[in-house]
Amino acid sequence: MQAGLLRDTVVFEQVRKVKTDSGFREKEYVPILTTKAYKKKLSLVGGDGINAYEEFLGNTVILQVRWNPAISEDLRIDYQGRKYKIKLLDKQSDNTYIITCSKEDE
């Protein structure tokens, strides 16, 4: 991977449960790693109009980042102001990860 391709900034966040004053437990996401990433291109081949596959692609992002031991599948990603859940973490032979993410429901 060429360093010049890493143009986008991503923040990896880990969930932490905190107890409120009333005793209720709620989830809070804490940033644990900020790094540069490369957004892979998704393309459709053939077909006219909108189909289910295009709808799926609209909620999916594929990023490539350098390998880091802090990255795991239980984290979420903040990318361009949107939150994504890691679906697949694929370690490559060139010490990078290909990360397939899907948009989280707000």
Mean pLDDT of 13-33: 91
pLDDT reading at 99 higher than 80:
yes
Contact 10, 37 (CB under 8 A): yes
More confident residue, 16 or 54: 16
Query: What's the pLDDT score for residue 20?
Result: 84
pLDDT level of residue 105 (50, 70, 90 thresholds): confident
Q: What angle do CA 91, 54, 46 make, to 5 degrees?
A: 100
Residue 37 DSSP SS3: strand
Q: What angle do CA 29, 79, 35 make, to 5 degrees?
A: 85
**What share of the chain in percent tops pLDDT 70?**
81
Domain ranges of the chain: 3-103
Task: Kindly report the CATH number that applies to the domain delimited by 3-103.
Answer: 2.40.10.270
Query: What's the pLDDT score for residue 5?
Result: 86
End-to-end CA distance of the chain: 33
